[in-house]
Chain A
Amino acid sequence: MAPESWYLALSAVLFCIGVVGVIVRRNPLVIFMSIEVMLNAANLAFVAFGHRLGTADGQAVVFFVMAVAAAEVAVGLAIIVAIFRLRRRLSVDDLSLMRW
């Protein structure tokens, strides 16, 4: 089995991929998916740390995070759908009514 530092490295890479995804993509759905990648990077880190520490706390946290992420998906999709109904386009670039 690979040492857990590998898992941590993977988690860091995932987190960065998520961050970059948020920044380079314009479709709110894809941005949101990138955020989910960030959350999952954190989940991976929790599990890896939990394994190293020999406690179940890390794993337990992951369940909470997953539940919250599911709720976030529901809310996020609802918002995206509401906007799509009004605009018929799906790009965050259109969302610049309010600025300065």
Chain B
Amino acid sequence: MSTVWLIPAFPLAGALVNMVFGRVIGRSAHWIAVPALVASFLGSCVVFARVWSGQAFTTTLFTWIVAADFETTVVALVDPLTGVMLLVVTGVGMLIHVYSIGYMHDDPGYARFFAYLNLFVFSMTMLVLAGNFLLLYVFWEAVGLCSYLLIGFWYTRDSAAQAGKKAFIVNRVGDFGFGLAIMWIWIAFGTLDYVAVFKGAETLAPATATGIALLLFMGACGKSAQVPLHVWLPDAMEGPTPVSALIHAATMVTAGVYMVARSHALFERSTVALDVVLWVGVITAVFAATIGLVQTDIKRVLAYSTVSQLGYMFAALGLGAYTAGIFHLVTHAFFKALLFLGAGSVIHGLHGEQDLRKMGALAPRMRVTAMTMTIGALGLVGFPGLAGFFSKDEILAAAFFGSRAAWALLLAGAFMTAFYTFRLIFLAFFTGPRMSKDVAHHAHESPRVMTWPLIALAALTVVAGAAVGIPSEHGTPFARFLSPVLPVHEGEHGGAAGVMLLVLSVIVVAAGILLAWFMYMAAPVKAETIGQPRTVLVRLLLNAWYVDWLYDRAIVRPLYALSVFLARVFDLGVIDGLVNGLGRAVVWWSAGLRRLQTGYVVNYALTMLAGAVIFVAYFLAR
């Protein structure tokens, strides 16, 4: 048994201990959970070192399902892509665990929280390690389950419970596609093993490849909140903020990106599928950014931003720039986790206030938070030199050489990103204050245990891009590292056009920031003018283009009505009606008795009789 299995084993053990002995452990739960994560992170480092030396390997734990000619094992595939994902999951996870010690300090469900969080890290590392599609699916569901548990962690809020349920149901839609894709892969290849499937993909018929790839992408859309399955993610912000940072920004929601990148061999076989991935990504990137422009809840701004950035990642995958997509995944994990944790620190300092309209001028009171969050914001918008600059511009460059229309839209998205990000920063930290005197007086910087993770993530945001993201003749160092797994994009790098693109995107970003400055900084803003539906457009954006409303009216309500209809009317009305009709005929013939408005036992018997008549008639007709 390989040491690889220790990486998920530590968090699993931590989760079990905190779950079973939670009541006894209580406030000391982090003494179990955090060391588990540290051990897991160290294990990831060891594994990463092995991968670094060019060693990709598989390791089997045990044989799980055997069905005649088909065998599924619990197997890990460890290659550079796995290594990168493991480092992100356990590294960011570790920082967020530390942060949670402070953030969840007064919560009555302290042990439960750490148990769920550990369980999530276990599931996520297993998802990344999985060496076949079935195992991927298993932990795909498992991370989903942890996500719902954590979204609804504060279940005393009705909205939290509703959000958990919504996340589950929307994800089921995606998982339905994913399940079908797995079945189809099984039919097409006779195996679900990554290595065999990707080898066999080279000779796959394009139509089959398109079908499988699109169904897989449907699953990815659910998990990674792409249009039209994006609706659950903003609501998921009902969960505690460390959860939003870990699950709904840095790791779980990127599982779809990981899955598509992992199965790129299947997607490569179908231009249709790649185009769908590209355009869904582009549309999501722009669509979610527009909604982010007007949100007033600090976490919802970041949520729509996450949806938008995931769109960028998918756009990169759709363009064939897989390494760019994964690179953006990594940098995004750093700065988005940072932004969320920063937002959490603000919320903590203001005792639960999430409304941007009631914040302002927090920079003097929360220096570390303000500093680190501004760095995170600069990373997100792509300030030259920071992480997002390298990763986003790689995507934009790929788009420029792949599809000009996509590039134009993504550039517009970058503009909006810059605007809403700095709108958030200005409204929270610089203008104002707009909160009551009392709240302002009590606003305070968060404790060290919360600010240190912020500083660590800010450092990563600053250095990650420059360290591995500077493009050269043969792509970025990051891309070269992943080249055994993911093909290096055949785009044009560097050159005059590349420099022009860089300059252009910097100008666009600067314009976005400047606009935000003019709107919110140049003149003092009143709380009531922010996010007010003064125009039709703003109202549309505030209601997230009314997608939820549409789903409610078009799908949820009719389905529920159908269920009630079937239960109350169909079973006792229509079937009875049919059966009663049939029964009447029988009665007419036999005794002329017309006593058919009978009690229910009779109705049941009539239904059975109708079934019997149908069965016999069917057999006679054959």
Residues of chain A within 8 A of B606, CB atoms compared: 23
| Given known A20-B586, A24-B591, A24-B595, contact A100–B571 (CB-CB < 8 A) | yes
Residue total for A at the interface (Cβ-Cβ under 8 A)? 17
Q: Please tell me if B352 contacts chain A, counting CB pairs below 8 Å.
A: no
Q: Please tell me if B45 contacts chain A, counting CB pairs below 8 Å.
A: no
Q: Mark A6-43, 1 if CB is under 8 A from B, else 0.
A: 00000000001101101110100001000000000000
List the one stretch of B6-14, B194-202, B597-605 in contact with chain A: B597-605
Residues of chain A within 8 A of B602, CB atoms compared: 22-24, 26, 92-93
Contact (Cβ within 8 A) B600 A99: yes
Q: Which of A22, A91, A93 contacts B605 (CB 8 A)?
A: A22
Contact (Cβ within 8 A) A24 B587: yes
Residues of chain A within 8 A of B587, CB atoms compared: 20, 23-24
Contact (Cβ within 8 A) B599 A95: yes
Q: A92-B602, A93-B598, A94-B599 are in contact. List 16 more A-B contacts (CB 8 A).
A: A19-B609, A20-B587, A23-B602, A23-B605, A23-B606, A24-B596, A24-B598, A26-B599, A26-B602, A31-B601, A91-B599, A92-B601, A93-B602, A95-B599, A96-B599, A99-B572
Q: Please tell me if B43 contacts chain A, counting CB pairs below 8 Å.
A: no
Residue of A nearest to B599 (CB): A93
Docked Cα-Cα span, A52 to B586, in Å, equals: 31
- What are 29 A-B interface contacts by the 8 Å CB criterion? A16-B590, A17-B590, A20-B586, A20-B590, A22-B602, A23-B583, A23-B602, A23-B606, A23-B609, A24-B583, A24-B587, A24-B591, A24-B595, A24-B596, A24-B602, A26-B598, A26-B599, A31-B601, A92-B598, A92-B602, A93-B602, A94-B599, A95-B600, A95-B601, A96-B599, A99-B572, A99-B600, A100-B567, A100-B572
Query: A39 to nearest B CB, angstroms?
Result: 15
Q: Please tell me if B568 contacts chain A, counting CB pairs below 8 Å.
A: yes
Q: Which 8 A-B pairs have the closest CB atoms?
A: A93-B599, A92-B601, A96-B600, A92-B599, A20-B590, A24-B593, A22-B605, A100-B567
Query: B580 to nearest A CB, angstroms?
Result: 10
Residue among A19, A24, A31 with most chain B CB within 10 A: A24
Residues of chain B within 8 A of A24, CB atoms compared: 583, 587, 590-591, 593, 595-596, 598, 602
Residues of chain A within 8 A of B568, CB atoms compared: 100
Docked Cα-Cα span, A93 to B567, in Å, equals: 20
Query: A17 to nearest B CB, angstroms?
Result: 8
Residues of chain A within 8 A of B583, CB atoms compared: 23-24
Query: A80 to nearest B CB, angstroms?
Result: 13
Binding site for A on B (CB under 8 A): 567-568, 571-572, 583, 586-587, 590-591, 593, 595-596, 598-602, 605-606, 609
Docked Cα-Cα span, A91 to B598, in Å, equals: 10
Docked Cα-Cα span, A99 to B593, in Å, equals: 26
B interface: dominant SS: helix
Residue of A nearest to B568 (CB): A100
Residues of chain B within 8 A of A96, CB atoms compared: 599-600
Residues of chain A within 8 A of B599, CB atoms compared: 26, 91-96
Q: Which of A20, A95, A100 contacts B591 (CB 8 A)?
A: A20
Docked Cα-Cα span, A22 to B609, in Å, equals: 10
Query: B589 to nearest A CB, angstroms?
Result: 9
Query: A93 to nearest B CB, angstroms?
Result: 3
Query: A18 to nearest B CB, angstroms?
Result: 11
Residues of chain B within 8 A of A92, CB atoms compared: 598-602
Residues of chain A within 8 A of B567, CB atoms compared: 100
Residue of B nearest to A16 (CB): B590
Docked Cα-Cα span, A88 to B570, in Å, equals: 32
Residues from 77 to 100 in A contacting B, C-beta threshold 8 Å: 91-96, 99-100
Residues of chain A within 8 A of B593, CB atoms compared: 24
Docked Cα-Cα span, A95 to B602, in Å, equals: 10
Docked Cα-Cα span, A26 to B593, in Å, equals: 12
Docked Cα-Cα span, A26 to B599, in Å, equals: 8
Residue of A nearest to B613 (CB): A19
Docked Cα-Cα span, A26 to B602, in Å, equals: 8
Residue of B nearest to A19 (CB): B609
Residues of chain B within 8 A of A16, CB atoms compared: 590
Docked Cα-Cα span, A26 to B598, in Å, equals: 8
Docked Cα-Cα span, A77 to B571, in Å, equals: 30
Residues of chain B within 8 A of A17, CB atoms compared: 590
Docked Cα-Cα span, A17 to B583, in Å, equals: 13
Residues of chain B within 8 A of A19, CB atoms compared: 609
Residues from 44 to 100 in A contacting B, C-beta threshold 8 Å: 91-96, 99-100
Docked Cα-Cα span, A94 to B602, in Å, equals: 11
Docked Cα-Cα span, A99 to B601, in Å, equals: 10
Docked Cα-Cα span, A93 to B587, in Å, equals: 18
Docked Cα-Cα span, A77 to B98, in Å, equals: 70
Residue among B572, B596, B601 with most chain A CB within 10 A: B601
Docked Cα-Cα span, A93 to B605, in Å, equals: 13
Residues of chain A within 8 A of B586, CB atoms compared: 20, 23
Residue of B nearest to A92 (CB): B601
Query: B126 to nearest A CB, angstroms?
Result: 43
Docked Cα-Cα span, A99 to B591, in Å, equals: 29
Docked Cα-Cα span, A93 to B600, in Å, equals: 6
Residue of A nearest to B564 (CB): A100
Residue of A nearest to B586 (CB): A20
Query: B489 to nearest A CB, angstroms?
Result: 59
Docked Cα-Cα span, A17 to B119, in Å, equals: 64
Docked Cα-Cα span, A17 to B587, in Å, equals: 10
Query: B582 to nearest A CB, angstroms?
Result: 10
Residue of B nearest to A94 (CB): B599
Docked Cα-Cα span, A93 to B598, in Å, equals: 6
Residues of chain B within 8 A of A20, CB atoms compared: 586-587, 590-591
Query: B401 to nearest A CB, angstroms?
Result: 62
Query: A61 to nearest B CB, angstroms?
Result: 21
Query: B574 to nearest A CB, angstroms?
Result: 14
Residue of B nearest to A17 (CB): B590
Query: A23 to nearest B CB, angstroms?
Result: 6
Residues of chain A within 8 A of B600, CB atoms compared: 92-93, 95-96, 99
Residues of chain A within 8 A of B571, CB atoms compared: 100
Residue among B567, B568, B596, B600 with most chain A CB within 10 A: B600
